[in-house]
Every structure is written in C-alpha cells, then in structure tokens.
Amino acid sequence: MKKLFYVTTPIYYVNSEPHIGHAYTTILADFLKRFYMMIGYDAYFLTGTDEHGDKIAKAAQENGASPQEYTDRISSSFKQVWKEMDLQYDDFIRTSEGRHRKAVQSILQKVYDGGDIYFGSYGGYYCFGCERYFTEKEMSDGKCPDHDTKLEYIEESNYFFKMSKYQGWLINHIKANPDFIRPERYRNEVMSLLEGEVLEDLCISRPKARLKWGIPLPFDENYVTYVWFDALINYVSALGYPDGDTFRKYWPAAQHIIAKDIVKPHGVFWPTMLKAAGIEPYRHLNVHGYWNMEEAKMSKSLGNVVRPVDLMKKFGDDQIRYFFLREMTFGLDAKFSEESVINRINYDLANDLGNMVKRSFNMAERYFGGKVPPYPQEAVHERDILKEKFIRALDEYVDNTMAFRFNSGIQHLWEFIGSLNKYIDETKPWVLAKEGKTGHLSAVIRNLLESCFALAVVLSPVLRNASVKILEALDMAGSQFDRMKIISLDSLEDGGAVRDVGVLFPKLEKEGLEGDASVKKEQKMAENDGLIDIKEFAKVDIRVAEILKAARIEGSDKLLELEIDSGGERRTLVAGLAKQYDAEYLVGKKILLVANLKPATIFKRTSQGMLLAAKKEKNDAPVLIEIDPSIPNGARLS
Ligand code: MSP
C-alpha cells in the first residue's frame, strides 16, 4: 500500500480577495502534493474558505449583500484564482456548506456529552479582527498586537470548552513529538503559552442576539458556534468525518500549513478539541513566516502587480513558484520585492539552470546532429562522479523538503547544476571536438543530457513548465520518478531525439535597479550614539550557532557562504571573512548569530542573519567571536 500524505492550507477569510500571502501558502501545498506524489505517496490536498463570524457578516453588510450571497461571491473568486494559477486541490471546503455544519454539530454534541462544554459568563478583552479574546499577557498597551486596534471589553453568558483539562496532555504530546509543531521557534511559542500558566477555557459560542451568521449549537438554538471552533473542524469535515473513508484514510497523515498569525488556534485550540472529540492529533503543524512588502516600493516598482495572478503573468508560473520556495526560509519572514524576484530569475533560473540546459542541448545538436550520443565505456568514471553528486543532491532535496526546509532542498539541486556548469567549463567539449576526441566528447554530452533529464523529473513539482519542455525535447514526456532509474544517469536511448528546448527562462531587465552582481541590499544600521535600555537590547536575538558548511563565493574575494545550524534550524549566511579565514577552518566552529536581522540579498544569496566578529580599528580584518563548543546550538545570549 502507498504511503499517505494529507496537506491543508488555512481556510481563508472571505472578507478580502486572495493576495500574495494566501497564494504562497496555497502554492506550497500544491508543490507538496506534487512532490509527495512524485516520490510515490498517495497525497491529498485541501483548501477552502472560512465564511462565518462577525468579520464576514460585517463585510457582507458593507457590500450591501446577504452573508450567503457575499461569501458565494468571494469564495468563488478564491477558486477562480487557484484555477488560473493551476493549483490542483482535491477538495475545496466552505464552512457554509451542509457537510461542514453536520460535522461541527456532531463534534460539539460529542464534546458536550462528554462533559467538556459548560455554560458560564465571561468578561474579557476581544479583538474583532482576530475574533478572539486576548489575555493580559498577549495584548500590548490594551491593543491587539496583530491588528494594532484597541481591544474591546465584552462580558456575556456563553458556552465554554474545558481547554484547560487537556493542557497537561498537550504538553506531554508536544514533548513526546518534538516536531509536532515546526520549525522549533513555533513549538517554543506554543510551549510558552502552555507552560506559563493555566489555560483559560475557550468561549465557543456567540449569542444569536449579537451574531446570526454561524452554525447553531446543537444543544442551544440561541447560540451560534464561535468561528474558530467552527473553522478548525474543516480539516476533518472535508474528509467526511466521522465515518467517511477519506477521513479514515488520510487523517492519520494530516499536515497543516499556516503562517505565524494563527499559531495559537492551531497549536492549542485544535489539538485539545481533537482530543476532547476522541480524534487522534494531526501529524504536523508547519508554520511559516510572513512575506513583507514595502508599500512604497511595491507601488513604485511593481505597479499594480500585487494580485497573485498578475504576478504569475508578469514573471511566469515556474519563476514565481521557484522564487517562493527558494527565497523564504520556512519559519522566518521574508521580503517580497521585484528586485529579489528578478535576481532569482536571472541568476538561478536563466544563468545557472537555463544556460546549462541550453548549452547541453546546443552541443548535442552541433556535435551529434540532435541525437543522444552513445556512452563510451572508457569514460565511465566521469558518470560515476556526477552520479555521486546527483545522489547526494537528490537525497538532500527529498529529506529537506519532507522537513519543510524547502530552500535548503532546492539549494542542493542548484549545487548539482553548478557542478554541471563547471563540468562543461572544465571538459571544454568544443576543444574535444576540435581535437577529434569523439569518445570523450560523446561521454560529456551524454552525461549532460542525462543530468538534464534527471533534473527535469525531480524539479517537476516546482518548475512545471520548464520540466515538461525539457522532457518533451528529449522525447521523454510523462517519465515517472523512479529513484533507481533517475540516479543511474542512464535513462536515455542511444540515438534518441534531442530537439531545440528554446529559451527556458528569459532574462529580465532590472529597470531602475543596479545591475551589477556585487550590488545588493546593504543593511543600513541607524547610528545611535546614545545609550539603550535593556528592552531595546532584548530586541536583538543573539544565539549560538554552528557552522556546518563554508564555501567561497565566486566573484568575491571577501565573501563566504556559510550554512549554519542555529538550533534545529538551518540558515544561510553571507559573511565577509574570506580574506582572513579558510573555508575549511570555519566548519564546526560555534559562533554568535544575530538571528532576527532582516534577511539581505548579497551576491544572489539570501543572508539570514549576521555572525558576530570584532575588530579594533575600522580597517582591521574582523576576528570571529568563537564560542565554547559545549554550549548547545540555539542557546540564547542572556
Ligand atoms: N480564516 C482564518 C484561518 C482559519 S483555518 C482553520 C484566517 N484566514 S486568513 O484569510 O487571514 O488567512 C491567513 C493565512 O493566509 C495565513 O496563515 C497564511 O497562510 C496566509 N497569509 C496571509 N498573509 C500572509 C503573508 N503576508 N505572508 C505569508 N502568508 C500569509 O486566518
């Protein structure tokens, strides 16, 4: 039987049209579904819309429509956008559907019958944007930290779910399953909510007198269900809870994807609700950071290209999927700008991948008349070297993707692409041709074509169009991922067709942006001669990290690219240490990392933080601050 994978996005509120943030999460889910299918899983992908609650009722009213008319309209615009972006979900759940209402009422009744729902009265500070109460600890200056709006004190009689009863169970569950919530920073966030104090019980109803647009409680018609208690249940209602085959089949393999805005409902409410309803917990909660855009810049350089479909049309489907997956370190915020999209397209896609494929195909045309050359036995060692590199890259890609470290996974494939470009430069096929070394030439071109084929197959969940173009040009369209076959680098037929592959990724002009590879964002630190207080200092997240890999950056005599472990998280750093340190010397060293610095693009790498080094005079070479190896990775400076 095939292994199973069930991926969900949040169900989006229908009070606004889909934007880039929604598109990111949904693209990730689409990528993962295709990725898991590629490696042989039976995968299922759910998305949908969250349609009840104050916020939606208010938006409908403002638009002069009934809640149902209004939600029909916006929900279908989500569907339309996903269709135009070819995001292939298996099901789209709407919380206003009858199948959902039935499941919500059945869970409410079950939890009520189990004695975990009681009637009481409560007064607390409420955010209408988040549709939830805030504890003293969570609010800042009486305001909602997400919406920056004043919280309103509300007191009313309602039904409550005994969330506190399951607090101890949840703490133990998270301890026993350290990657239940990942990456680590969000597990820590949930643990600090759980371990700090006794959880307040969850108010799960709203009086109909105040809000009609919701699912009536099965045990009291005067109340509707609180929108979060209703919404979270979509993940099982869509599968046909309680007795649908799809539910039984996929639920044990459930993986949710959300952004950091909705960690508490997913990390605390949902697992305790599941426990109370006698449903096993989901497998993983995967939490990503935010895409931030600078408004001014957005309107200046991107014009009106903020709608996901326009973005795809402007830059291309493969290009945007690649950018999203490669640019963001899952879990951390990232900046969206036209400059960074264009850099990824021009450097990674056009230069690295596009050129390698184009050169390989052109040489097959020029030297072998557009046919796959045979592989002469005497050059077998070159294939073995490439095979080893490819196996390493593929395994890293698969492992990192399964661990939601998409950028690291893809980076490994790009290292392989880099070694193919180097292989062309070093073997110089044009010289081999001139010198009549046909055997070696044939081996080089065959190796390159085989590598292009293997890359096209493994990259198909990301680069949906370019992959097909490469496979079609090799007459291999429809090829399945078969690890053994792919890693053999021996899949093509002698004499098979090698057609023109065209320009896979046209280079883009950087209007008004500096074009030199060395010019990237400089982090400008505001000068401050004055003293700072402890609160300001506490904003800087300094942690111990370990250098796992270090390599010189071609084209720069100063810069090194480092891969570091900052305590369960891998990051890339670009550091100006190349003049004074050998890359090999740095591997294994423990250093201090400023972990919450905004990412910066330097030499087409995204540097996710800064390591601490010291120098006495301005022009001295910086000396790395090394840390005692016994201090664990991720330990914070305090
Ligand atoms: N309806 C709730 C979710 C209920 S799930 C049971 C909700 N909806 S939402 O429309 O506000 O969507 C929030 C989600 O949209 C985030 O968790 C994330 O997946 C995505 N994003 C919204 N803005 C985003 C960014 N700026 N960056 C990245 N993702 C963003 O919350």
**Start-end of CATH 1.10.730.10 domains in the chain:** 335-486
Query: Is pLDDT larger for residue 541 or for residue 453?
Result: 453
127 is catalytic: yes
Tell me: the pLDDT tens digits for 540-572? 889 999 989 989 888 888 899 999 888 877 889
Using the mean position of ligand 1's atoms as its centre, give its distance from the Cα of residue 285 in Å.
Answer: 14
Q: What pLDDT does 140 receive?
A: 86
Ligand 1 pocket mutation, candidates 181, 262, 298, criterion most atoms within 8 A of CB: 262
- Beta 132-134 vs 117-127: how paired, if at all? antiparallel
- The dihedral over CA atoms of 224, 230, 231, 234, expressed in degrees to the nearest 10, equals -140
| Bridge partner residues of 532 (DSSP) | none
What is the average per-residue pLDDT within 332-337?
93
Q: What pLDDT does 525 receive?
A: 35
Single out the catalytic residue among 127, 162, 203, 604: 127
Using the mean position of ligand 1's atoms as its centre, give its distance from the Cα of residue 364 in Å.
Answer: 48
| Bridge partner residues of 43 (DSSP) | 5
% of the chain exceeding 70 in pLDDT: 94
Tell me: the pLDDT tens digits for 353-402? 999 999 999 999 999 999 999 999 877 899 999 999 999 999 999 999 99
- 343 near 604, Cβ under 8 Å? yes
Q: What pLDDT does 296 receive?
A: 40
Q: What tokens does 75 get?
A: 């929900």
pLDDT band at 521 (very low <50, low <70, confident <90, very high): very low
147 is catalytic: yes
Q: What pLDDT does 523 receive?
A: 33
Q: What pLDDT does 518 receive?
A: 35
Q: Where are the beta strands (DSSP E) in 10-116?
A: 12-13, 42-50, 91-94
Task: Find all residues with CB under 8 Å of 184, minimum gap 6, and list them.
Answer: 567, 568, 569, 634
266 is catalytic: no
| Bridge partner residues of 565 (DSSP) | 546, 570
Q: Whose CA is nearest to atom 24 of ligand 1?
A: 21
Number of the ligand 1 atom closest to the C-alpha atom of 266: 6
Using the mean position of ligand 1's atoms as its centre, give its distance from the Cα of residue 12 in Å.
Answer: 6
19 is catalytic: yes
Phi, psi of 288 (to 5 degrees): -105, 165
Using the mean position of ligand 1's atoms as its centre, give its distance from the Cα of residue 481 in Å.
Answer: 33
83 is catalytic: no
% of the chain exceeding 90 in pLDDT: 70
Query: Is pLDDT larger for residue 614 or for residue 52?
Result: 52
Q: Residue 77 pLDDT more than 50? A: yes
Query: Residue 7: CB within 6 Å of ligand 1?
Result: no
Using the mean position of ligand 1's atoms as its centre, give its distance from the Cα of residue 9 in Å.
Answer: 9
CATH topology assigned to domain 335-486: Isoleucyl-tRNA Synthetase; Domain 1 (1.10.730)
Q: What pLDDT does 90 receive?
A: 98
Query: Residue 231: CB within 6 Å of ligand 1?
Result: yes
Query: Residue 128: CB within 6 Å of ligand 1?
Result: no
Tell me: the pLDDT tens digits for 118-150? 999 988 898 888 888 888 888 888 999 888 899
- 268 near 194, Cβ under 8 Å? yes
Q: What pLDDT does 511 receive?
A: 63
Number of the ligand 1 atom closest to the C-alpha atom of 291: 27
CA-closest candidate to residue 549, choices 571, 516, 569: 571
Q: Which residue has the tokens 């599941």?
A: 274
100 is catalytic: no
Q: Whose CA is nearest to atom 16 of ligand 1?
A: 259
Query: Is pLDDT larger for residue 454 or for residue 154?
Result: 454
Query: Residue 308: CB within 6 Å of ligand 1?
Result: no
Query: Residue 423: CB within 6 Å of ligand 1?
Result: no
297 is catalytic: yes
Using the mean position of ligand 1's atoms as its centre, give its distance from the Cα of residue 468 in Å.
Answer: 32
What mean pLDDT, rounded, does the chain reach? 91
Query: Residue 333: CB within 6 Å of ligand 1?
Result: no
CATH number assigned to the domain with residue range 533-624, chosen from the 4 options 3.40.50.720, 2.40.50.140, 3.30.2290.10, 1.20.1290.10: 2.40.50.140
CA-based R_g, the chain, Å: 27
143 is catalytic: no
Q: What pLDDT does 197 receive?
A: 84
Single out the catalytic residue among 33, 55, 79, 130: 130
Single out the catalytic residue among 52, 55, 79, 144: 144
What is the average per-residue pLDDT within 329-354?
95
Ligand 1 pocket mutation, candidates 9, 12, 282, criterion most atoms within 8 A of CB: 12
3-state SS track over 312-360: HHHHCHHHHHHHHHHHCCCCCCEECCHHHHHHHHHHHHHHHHHHHHHHH
Tell me: the pLDDT tens digits for 454-471? 999 999 999 999 999 999
Q: Residue 517 pLDDT more than 50? A: no
Q: What is the pTM of this model?
A: 0.80
Q: What pLDDT does 398 receive?
A: 98
Using the mean position of ligand 1's atoms as its centre, give its distance from the Cα of residue 333 in Å.
Answer: 14
Q: Residue 582 pLDDT more than 70? A: yes
